[in-house]
Amino acid sequence: MKKGSIVGIIVGSLLLTGCSTTNFYNRKKEVGITDRVSQKNDDGTTDKKIYFEIEEAMFSVDLIKGWKELEVEEVHEDASVALSNMKNTIYYVVIGENKEDFESLDFYKELIIEQMIDEPDEVQEKEVTRNGLKGTNYTFYQAVDGIKFFYDIDILEGKEHFVQSISWTFKSKAKTNQDTMEQLLASIEE
C-alpha cells in the first residue's frame, strides 16, 4: 500500500464524524451551478472552484492547480469534499454539522479539538474570517499510528452549520506546504 493511501485511511479514523450530503446535483441546479467544478471567470484567472453541499447549504473551495478531487469514501465517510495534492502530499477535507445539534461554536470547537489532539497545549490558534465565515484556525503536529503529521484546521460557523475545514501533510513537509494549505483553507465560501 502506498504511503499516500495510508495517510487518508489513518486520518479518516482520526476525524470526528457527523456530516451528511443530500441530493447534491438537484440542489446545485437550484442555485444555478452547472458543474461540480466550474471555471472561475470573475477575475479572468484559470483557477476553478469546486462546489459541494452540507445538507442543503452550498459551499465552495478553490481547486488550485495541482489539486484533484478524491472520492470522499477514500478519506472520510462524512466529508462533503476531499481533495489531494499528491505531488506535495497534502490532503484536505470539509466536514459540516448542523448548528442545532450543538450548544455553541465554542462548545463545538472544544469538542472537535479534544477528539483530534492528544496534547492540546501544543496547539497554535488564531481567530480567522474566511469569506464571511468566522471561527478559529488551529495548527499542530500529531502522530497517528506512528506517522507524524502537520495539521492546519479551521473550525468555522456558517449560516446553519459548523464546518471543519481540515488540511494535513507529513511533518517533514510542514514548512514547505503550509502556505499552500493556508491558501486552500482561505478559499472556503458559503
- Give the domain ranges of the chain: 3-186
Class of domain 3-186 as given by CATH: alpha beta
Output the CA–CA distances (angstroms, integers) from residue 155 to 114, 138, 149, 177, in the order listed. Answer: 13, 8, 18, 20
The span from the CA of 135 to the CA of 146, in Å, is 30
Q: Which string of DSSP letters, residue by residue, matches 5-68?
A: HHHHHHHHHHSPP---B--HHHHHHHTT--SSEEE--TTS---EEEEEEEBTEEEEEEE-TT-E
DSSP-assigned beta bridge partners for residue 130: 133
Per-residue pLDDT of the chain (190 residues; tens, 9 = 90+): 444 444 444 454 444 333 333 333 333 334 333 445 555 445 444 458 888 888 878 888 988 888 888 888 888 888 999 999 989 999 999 999 999 999 999 999 999 988 888 775 678 999 999 999 999 999 999 988 999 999 999 999 999 999 999 999 999 999 999 999 999 999 999 9
Residue 169: what pLDDT?
97
Per-residue pLDDT, 6: 44
pTM for the predicted model, two decimal places: 0.77
How distant is the alpha carbon of residue 133 from its chain centre?
Answer: 13
> What integer pLDDT is reported at residue 52 of this predicted model?
85
